[in-house]
Structure 1
Amino acid sequence: MDTLEFDLFDRRLAQALMIDGRAAFSRLATVLETTDQTVIRHYRRLHGAGLLRVLGLPVGSRVGLFESRLRIRCVPGAALAIAEALARRPDTGWVKVYSGGTEVGCLVSSRTREDHETLLLQKLPRTQQVTGVSAHNLLHRYTSSLGHWLGPAELSEQQIRALQLPAASHDDTVRLDDSDHAMLSVLARDGRAGYPELAKATGRSESTVRRRLEYLRGHGALFFEVEILPVHLGYQTEAALALTVPPSDLAEVGRALADHPQVPFVAATTGTTNLAATVLCKDQHALYRYMTEGIGTLKSVHQLEVVPVLRHLKRAGLLSDGSRLSDPPR
């Protein structure tokens, strides 16, 4: 599918959903100065064609998840099968094969420490075709969890303000119960699932589900992400960045990278490098230009590793390419 499948209104709608993924169609119509029917028609077309998904995802650090960013080294020819197996797991996101075909990257978010340790200390090391695993904790995320719009803004500042929600509070860790997990399971597949569907999944009333969802969101425990394949907006090249920065300059460089439109994700991490980022560019030349003119202006960056992404098997919450997946390693 090419970029022509996103017209101007599609891009405006996508940007609006990135600001508030659960905004009512009527509210979106008011802000976008059109009719409810127009918004619904465009949304259904994009969603039905697999061009756009809204996902409701927990914020790991706010709900007590055990998260690690993994780089898994494999014997030649094994990376795709291992990536497919990881993509089948409910606790993984952003599963990708890096250029060269011998390394897999993913994010693991486990509900318990035991599950996390079992994967890292037993399952992956015992997989014969895995030659090494590095796991790093995400210490601080500099990019917003409200999504990242690619390209020039289609909405005015007034429209953006009209859609923005009050800042979430970040007090104590939010405790999730079984009903919360059941609701999150539905939202991870469809962030715009209706309250009747959420009520049925949780065994709660619609009013209770509505209040609980608003509570989780208002306390920074739940966010809604719009998933669009970058290629549909003209972005052909993706790479993972690993940067080394002096600790005294870490926050400044992290915030600077988060302000770059090419960077949808940047976080401070543990490990031999202390910043991890994702960069999206139109093509290889644009990636070179970003390295020299974007990162090159950040004098505190002492070391930079650029690892092109060869293929995505899973993005934030759903399989992105329709592959038939093999069983996970046992």
Structure 2
Amino acid sequence: MAQHLRQSLGDVDQALVHALQIAPRASWARIGTALGLDAVTVARRWQRLAEAGAAWISCHPAPALADSGQGCLAFVEVDCAPGHLPDVARALAAVPHVAALSQASGDRDLLLNVMARDLASLTRWTTGDLAALEGVRAVRTHLAARVHTEASRWRLRALSREQVALLTADEPQRRTATPAFPLTALDQRLIAALSVDGRAGYRTLAEQCGVSPDTVRRHVRRLFAADLLHARCEVARSLSDWPVGVTLWGRVPAARLGEVAQRVTGMREVRLCATVLSRHNLHLVAWVRSLDDAQRFEIRLAERAPDLTVTDRAVALWPMKLSGHLLDEDGYRIGATPLALWDEEGVSGPT
């Protein structure tokens, strides 16, 4: 069965993945209703996909967390000494605050998405632990000023409009009236646990975190209601119609940056768009159909946002880690490193 999954993803499985991208923690009964299947069937199909590493659900800190003054995000380029790339990549894949890691083409060997408590801790890690890692030759850091869109909003688009409407009708809207709040130590542990299994139930999470299911339910619901945590369903990229990942850096006149970012986020291929503070001021990640389509994507990008000048580009040769999940060369999940923004000593108490 795993071999079959490596060749194709059927219509029903594509619809299931799309449904879970919309409502990652919805009950199987609700997912089944939207797909016209019973709950047992959709649960069994999901288990088969997950066991094959073809699809998975994780959770990650949302941009609103950084907006509230808790944490920051950086895109880091790493150059490796000849012959050291595999060892450096393995070491970085095990780091809890390295959320994403790819071997990349162009003028860098590795691309990292790094989370940190603040600029000071980010600086200590990049100039200390990272720079001192054997085999690391150079490090360049691009600080994210604002994340305009990220991959939890990306969709496979296998469902009809009616099915999408059915799933979104009961799905809580982001940016509710619940204000951001300081994360507790328990919130941190819950984020780490949910980053590995975004569909983990309250009882399972309670056992992992050493508290009651009611306490877990209250904390998890509050995290999602305040838009501090996003769940997302991912699919092995080789099973989608978008198997090639590209990263683009660009420059936009400062006065036009917000409008250009808004235009770019509306493109289907775009999974991440962030304004950055570096020699570039816009950072994009997109999934495209082929290497040739990567060039066509740039043409479409120029038509949609003529004020944007692409200054550098890279192709993900091997996306090794995505939102904490470890991937093989074909993009299948083979494990996970729980995400962690910072040590628990740096957050408030457990209640």
Describe the shift of the 1:147–1:317 C-alpha distance in structure 2 as closer, same or farther (beyond 3 A).
farther
Partner of 1:254: 261
> Is 1:57–2:60 an aligned residue pair?
yes
How much does 1:145 deviate?
Answer: 5.7
* Deviation of 1:133 (Å): 1.3
- The RMSD of aligned alpha carbons is 2.4
Q: 1:290 to 1:102 in 2, by over 3 A?
A: closer
Cα deviation code 1:202-236 (max 9, x no counterpart): 22211221111111100011110112121111323
Residue of structure 1 in register with 2:201 after alignment: 194
Q: Within 2, Cα distance between the matches of 1:295 and 1:275? A: 14
Q: Are 1:292 and 2:292 matched, yes or no?
A: no
Amino acid of the structure 2 residue aligned with 1:124: L
Q: Is residue 2:41 matched to residue 1:41?
A: no
**Matched-pair contact (CA < 8 Å) for 2:151–2:271:** no
Aligned counterparts of 2:245 and 2:310: Cα–Cα separation in 1: 19
In structure 2, what is the equivalent of residue 225 of structure 1? 232
* CA deviation vs aligned residue, 1:186-207 (integer Å, no higher than 9, x gap): 1111011111111112222112
Unpaired runs of 5+ in structure 1? 326-330
CA distance in 2, matches of 1:9, 1:152: 9
The match for 1:328 is: none
Q: Which residue of 2 is the match for residue 28 of structure 1? A: 31
Check the 8 A contact 2:77/2:108 in 1, yes or no: no
2:162 is the alignment partner of 1:159: no
- SS of 2:25's equivalent in the other structure is coil
How many residue pairs match? The answer is 324
CA distance in 1, matches of 2:318, 2:202: 35
Aligned match of 2:318: 311
1:46 is paired with a residue whose SS is helix
Q: For 1:232 and 1:294, how far apart are their aligned partners in 2?
A: 25
Q: Which AA in structure 2 matches 1:193?
A: A
Contiguous gaps of at least 5 residues in structure 2? 329-333, 338-351
Kindly indicate whether residue 282 of structure 2 is the aligned counterpart of residue 275 of structure 1. Answer: yes
Pairwise CA distance, 1:303: 3.6
User: Structure 2: which amino acid aligns with 1:89?
Assistant: V
Alignment of 1:85-234 (within 5 A): 85-99=91-105, 102-111=108-117, 115-144=121-150, 146-150=152-156, 153-156=159-162, 157-169=164-176, 173-234=180-241
Counterpart of 2:10 in structure 1 is 7
Distance in 1 between residues matched to 2:304 and 2:295, nearest whole Å? 13
Q: TM-score, normalised by structure 2?
A: 0.84
Quickly say closer, same or farther: Cα 1:313–1:245, change in 2 above 3 A. same
Of 38-47 and 229-238, more deviation after overlay is shown by 229-238
